[in-house]
Chains A and B, each alone.
Chain A
Amino acid sequence: MARILTMRKALSEAFRQVMEEDPTVIMMGEDIAGGMGAPGELDAWGGDLGITKGLIGRFGMDRVLDTPISETAYIGAAVGAATAGLRPIAELMFVDFMGVCFDQLLNQAAKFRYMFGGKTKTPLVVRTQYGAGFRAGAQHSQALYPIFAHIPGLKCVIPSSAYDAKGLMIASVRDDDPVIFFEHKVMYDTVADDVPERPYAIPLGEANIVRDGEDATIVAIGRMVHFAMEAARTLERDGIDCEVIDPRTISPLDEDTILDSVRRTGRLVVVDEAYPRCGIAADIASIVAERCFEALKAPIRKVTPPHTPIPFAPDLEDAWLPSADKIAAAVRSQFEGRSR
């Protein structure tokens, strides 16, 4: 029988289960319990959107650590603790805040194993909110994962369903490399699907074919998977049968699943919420152009936001984001002026 959970509940369950199975897993971040030292109640927030509520009561203050607003110090401490026997899950409240603490991931966590000749491992998860649609403006809405995927030594996970969120989180915590885990702030409560109660891990680096199709391949990331599915349903009415692929992790990237699909369909549309320049959409497009150009029946199309910061005004933010309509238009354009 189906057990429908929101992404919020699926992630909460994953945290509880990984902390139960492994006493070396700890969590840290700003207000992940909340109310520390304050006259009111402890666990006042459970993270700014309540994702970690209840954990401090269950696992105690030694394993659920609130921090001052000092991202360099505590992300760095999480990296150091990972080399010294713990498996920290550090929350960076919004990925936009990476600007104040990037060095500890860019030059420390990512480099240790390589530059120290394989003599250490850094089993760390940094989980962080990303994404537009919350009317949160230019400094709280970005999808900065291409910056992390650019760096050898880091892994990058972006779930699109509650089922994937739980399985990928458990896999990320059990993984021996540093993983940056991106949670779309709009999806916590708007996405819900069937989530088994038992702990399970989804291997990093395995794409999910969300929808089988024969005429065009849509590769979409994170929240864009849902937009792509909506577009696919629309296009089906026009007689265009789309395959929708969710890479789930962009580092490692399951290139084979994407290439196999494009070789079958001959068309590729890549949909992403990150900025277009030097982004993951451009990266996937280049991989396909390089490796299976001969299979392409139409030019590759990208559907991304424009190269601008994210506007606050709701009308502008909606215009900034990709949409099912934009995706459908991109796919249709691949059939114009050509025989099917």
Chain B
Amino acid sequence: MQLTREALLRAFRLMQTIRSFEERVHDEFEAGRIPGFVHLYAGEEASAVGVCLHLDEHDFIGSTHRGHGHCIAKGCDVTGMMLELFGKRDGLCLGKGGSMHIADFDKGMMGANSIVGAAVPLALGAALAAKTLKTGAVSVPFCGDGGANQGGVLESLNLASVWKLPVVFAFENNGYAETTAASWAIAGGDIVNRAAAFGMPGVQVDGFDFFAVHEAAGAAIERARSGGGPSLIEIKTGRFFGHHEGDSQTYRGKNEVGRLRAERDCLVRFRQRVTEAGLLDPAQLDEVAVAIATEIDQAVDLARRAPAPAPAALFENVYVSY
């Protein structure tokens, strides 16, 4: 699939935004300024962006506990996200969701979800709504290799096929469910093998290669949009940080992360490919990266100083009416 310069630049901007956001959240968390748990997406950017570049705000995504990348790729406001992580009044969810529960339904982002695999049935429902209301929208549940072993996810693969829903299951296999190796926990070896059992096409792609993800996702999403039913993509990727911040990562190989960063970084590979092909200018990319760094700085600065939610917010939005 031929991408315009504009689309390439957009892809770079989104991937770089995710990277800068996550690196900065890592620092802020380490400094004790972010409460709770955070699970960073750095390393996996090509997955969220390669998929979401095919979607607009009418389409839906479901996400995981590692959701910041999905949020940014789907168009969520970065400053609002940072305020949310800091638990502030003006956060994207008014400070009541936090890192693991950021959602923006106006953007078709159905929420990060701290129950592993739980967003998959939910995204199925969005696909059902799109089909029933004939909106032409598609729904993409992101799910990790850990979630791939949840019963509800397997039920959802079956139900999506039975109901012929416009769904693309995007399994991000980053090699570990917390500390447990996917190579041990995924019976049958690869998640992609499960597609055939549920009567849908499946493809496995290199998740460090934006172009590979983008192409596979494009075909699957086009199929879903044109009424062809569900399909599955297994995106083989890797995280640059631990399961959560504070994870000692003793289960990983010696210098595994160092090698991932040095040899497989999706941003480095993207830059190499587009500059060598003369599609984008290195200086242009640097300029974008600097602008993003400034944006993240400003977001953090604002988040640190922003007010906490008012005490009354404790009682608000439990119900629409009660």
Cβ-based interface call for B152 (8 A): yes
Cβ-based interface call for A286 (8 A): no
CB–CB A85/B133 < 8 A = yes
Cβ-based interface call for A57 (8 A): no
CB–CB A62/B132 < 8 A = yes
Q: In the assembled complex, which residues on chain B have CB atoms less than 8 Å from the CB atom of A26?
A: 132
Question: Which listed residue (A63, A76, A86) contacts B124, Cβ 8 A?
Answer: A76
* A72 and B94 in contact, given A62-B132, A80-B125, A205-B322 (Cβ under 8 angstroms): no
CB–CB B101/A116 < 8 A = yes
CB distance from B51 to the nearest CB of A (A): 18
CB distance from A267 to the nearest CB of B (A): 29
CB–CB B317/A117 < 8 A = yes
- Inter-chain CA distance A251–B282, complex, in Å, is 60
CB–CB B128/A76 < 8 A = no
* A72 and B163 in contact, given A84-B126, A115-B97 (Cβ under 8 angstroms): no
CB–CB A81/B93 < 8 A = no
CB–CB A104/B318 < 8 A = no
Cβ-based interface call for B197 (8 A): no
CB-CB nearest in chain A for B101: A115
- Inter-chain CA distance A62–B97, complex, in Å, is 34
CB–CB B122/A108 < 8 A = yes
CB distance from A253 to the nearest CB of B (A): 10
Cβ-based interface call for A153 (8 A): yes
CB–CB A117/B96 < 8 A = yes
CB–CB A176/B152 < 8 A = no
- Inter-chain CA distance A108–B125, complex, in Å, is 13
CB-CB nearest in chain A for B106: A119
* A118 and B316 in contact, given A76-B152, A86-B132, A103-B152 (Cβ under 8 angstroms): yes
Cβ-based interface call for A233 (8 A): no
CB-CB nearest in chain A for B103: A116
CB–CB A115/B159 < 8 A = no
Q: Of residues 83 to 104 in B, which have CB atoms within 8 Å of A's CB atoms?
A: 91-98, 101, 103-104
Hey, which bits of chain B sit against chain A, CB under 8 A? 60, 62, 91-98, 101, 103-106, 110-111, 113, 115, 118, 120-126, 128-130, 132-133, 151-152, 155-156, 158-159, 162-163, 316-322
Hey, which bits of chain A sit against chain B, CB under 8 A? 24, 26, 62-63, 65, 67-68, 70-86, 88, 101, 103-104, 107-108, 111-121, 152-153, 155, 175-177, 205, 252
